[in-house]
Amino acid sequence: MAFGGKEARRGNRPRNRALRAAAPAAERRRVRRQRLGILLLVLVGLPALGAGLYFGGRAAWRELFSENDFFRIRRIEVTTDGGLDAKHIEEYAGVRAGLNLLAVRPEKIRAALLAVPVIANAQVGRRLPDTLVVEVAERVAVARLGWPRSGAPLAVDATGHVLGPSSVRASLPVVVGVRDKGLRPGDVVQDPMLTDALTLLELCNHEGLRPELAVASIDLGEEERLAVGLTSGETVLLARDRLADRLDKLRAMRAEARKRGLDLAVYDMTVDRNYVGRPANWTESVQTN
């Protein structure tokens, strides 16, 4: 009997060892299942939490700010350095009293204003709780663009931006011969000769030259020179380089012509020296160094 009991115990040993080996494997499977459950919870829970915070935050923002009557626009302050009417500026900006001040986007309003050809710059801001502030800098027309048999007149500012008929004034000098075709308000003239013409107008507008050289027209028909018509009736042919120096010499020539009682109709300033003045009934040239 004793021998038989010992054999039974010996037979149980392999089974016990198998049970002890299976226990760690089961524990590992249990741990893996726990980790997988945690991972699934994170993958599903975090987006749900984020979505809840996002939509909850938006709802709170609307309730507290963007749909709160306390922040309704009751006043729109518009300032401009030009002639645009405040109501027109509000229409261009797409704003009106009654909108929520925090719901409107200043950058979007500014972009809408800058799309208007006559507006050079704009600043938009809020003054809590109920005021929208709009500041506009307008483009100033310095010349009219003219072509034979052209349609509605256009104007340009000092940077070559094309302005519509509302900016055209009869007192503006006329620039003819611009090579760009199909120009519309909002375009920028690419013809390099217009740049020279605009530089000429800026120089003639300086205090020292303004009374002496009032420009009526500029013809860009020839590549190498500008044909300038003065309001006093004379024609000035100008090479495109060293404009400031040539205009200074022109002023001196006109002063000398008046002193000598000469009625000169054309001043040829296309050479580097010995500029020529010709009377209307030209028979000989009057030269000056």
Q: Where among 99, 115, 138 does a domain terminate?
A: 138
Are residues 129 and 55 located together in one domain of the fold? Answer: no
Are residues 106 and 225 located together in one domain of the fold? Answer: no
Q: H-type helices in the chain, by residue range?
A: 2-61, 86-93, 106-114, 192-204, 243-259
Cα separations in angstroms, 21 against 9, 31, 231: 19, 16, 112
* CA separation for the pair 215, 227 (Å, rounded): 11
SS3 (DSSP) at 79? strand
Q: Per-residue pLDDT for the chain (289 aa), expressed as one digit of tens each?
A: 444 555 545 555 555 555 455 556 666 677 677 676 676 666 666 676 566 666 565 655 555 555 678 889 999 999 999 999 999 999 999 999 999 998 899 999 999 999 999 999 999 999 999 999 999 999 999 999 986 555 678 999 999 999 999 999 999 999 999 999 999 999 999 999 999 999 999 999 987 788 889 999 999 999 999 999 999 999 999 999 999 999 999 999 999 999 999 889 999 999 988 888 888 776 554 444 4
Q: Which of 176, 226, 222 is CA-nearest to residue 200?
A: 226
Asked if residues 215 and 231 have their Cβ atoms less than 8 Å apart, the reply is yes
Write down the pTM of the prediction: 0.72
- How many domains does the chain fold into? 3
Q: Where among 104, 138, 172 does a domain terminate?
A: 138
Are residues 206 and 282 located together in one domain of the fold? Answer: yes
- Reported as a single tens digit per residue, the pLDDT across 106-155 is 999 999 999 999 999 999 999 999 999 999 999 999 999 986 555 678 99
Are residues 255 and 198 located together in one domain of the fold? Answer: yes
Are residues 133 and 30 located together in one domain of the fold? Answer: no
Are residues 133 and 147 located together in one domain of the fold? Answer: no
Are residues 284 and 201 located together in one domain of the fold? Answer: yes
Are residues 172 and 270 located together in one domain of the fold? Answer: yes
Are residues 145 and 279 located together in one domain of the fold? Answer: yes
Residue 119 sits in a domain whose CATH number is 3.10.20.310
Are residues 17 and 57 located together in one domain of the fold? Answer: yes
- Residue 62: DSSP 8-state: I
Burial group, residue 143, by CB count within 10 angstroms (0-12, 13-18, 19+): buried
Asked if residues 269 and 237 have their Cβ atoms less than 8 Å apart, the reply is yes
- Residue 71: DSSP 8-state: G
pLDDT for 1: 44
pLDDT for 274: 85
- Reported as a single tens digit per residue, the pLDDT across 7-42 is 545 555 555 555 455 556 666 677 677 676 676 666
Residue 213 sits in a domain whose CATH number is 3.40.50
Q: Where among 87, 111, 138 does a domain terminate?
A: 138
* CA separation for the pair 165, 232 (Å, rounded): 26
Domain span holding position 58 = 1-67
User: How do strand 162-163 and strand 225-230 relate by DSSP bridges?
Assistant: unpaired
SS3 (DSSP) at 116? coil
Are residues 165 and 274 located together in one domain of the fold? Answer: yes
